C-alpha cells in the first residue's frame, strides 16, 4: 500500500564489519516509520554488476527488509542502486549510479507474507515470524 509521504529522510552506509547499514525515517499518513526504532524481522541483500561494466566493479547493492514498529505495524524497506551510462552520441559515457530507497506500509500479515514471497525470502525465515499453513 503506497501513500504520499509527508516527509522522508534516509542514510545508507557500511558498518565496520562491512555490512550494509539501512537507516530511513518516513512519515506516512501522520505516522512515523523508522528503521532505527522498529524491529527488523527479515533482511535480504545482494549485489549485481553495473550494466556498463563487463564484470568486476563497481557493484550495485540491493536490499529488501521487513520491519515491525513498536505498535505492531508492518512495513517494508527497499534500497536499490541503479547503474546507467550517458549518451555516447554526445561524447559522454561512464559508470553512473542512482540510489533509491523506499518505505511502504504493509496492511496485514497476509500482505506481509505475499511481499516476502515476491521478494524471494526463504520459507524457513518467513515461518519464524508468521503463521504459515501446510499445503
Within a domain: residue 15?
A: no
CA 117/CA 3 separation, integer angstroms: 22
Asked if residue 104 has a cis previous peptide bond (ω within 30° of 0), the answer is no
Number of domains in the chain: 1
Within a domain: residue 133?
A: no
Within a domain: residue 132?
A: no
pLDDT digits 0-9 by tens, 52-82:
776 666 789 999 999 999 999 999 999 999 8
Cβ atoms of 60 and 48 within 8 Å: the answer is yes
By residue range, what is the domain housing residue 76? 35-127
pLDDT digits 0-9 by tens, 37-51:
999 999 999 998 888
pTM of the model: 0.78
Query: Cell 520491519 sits at which residue?
Result: 67
Amino acid at each position: 500500500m503506497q501513500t504520499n509521504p509527508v516527509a522522508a529522510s534516509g542514510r545508507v552506509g557500511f558498518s565496520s564489519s562491512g555490512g550494509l547499514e539501512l537507516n530511513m525515517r518516513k512519515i506516512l499518513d501522520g505516522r512515523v516509520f523508522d528503521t532505527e526504532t522498529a524491529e527488523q524481522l527479515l533482511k535480504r541483500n545482494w549485489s549485481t554488476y553495473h550494466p556498463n561494466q563487463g564484470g568486476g566493479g563497481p557493484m550495485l547493492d540491493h536490499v529488501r527488509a521487513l520491519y515491525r514498529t513498536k505498535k505492531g505495524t508492518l512495513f517494508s524497506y527497499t534500497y536499490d542502486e541503479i547503474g546507467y551510462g550517458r549518451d555516447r552520441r554526445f561524447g559522454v559515457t561512464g559508470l553512473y549510479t542512482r540510489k533509491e530507497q523506499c518505505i511502504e506500509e504493509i496492511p496485514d500479515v497476509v500482505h506481509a507474507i505475499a511481499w516476502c514471497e515476491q521478494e524471494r525470502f526463504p520459507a524457513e525465515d518467513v515461518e519464524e515470524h508468521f503463521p504459515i499453513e501446510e499445503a
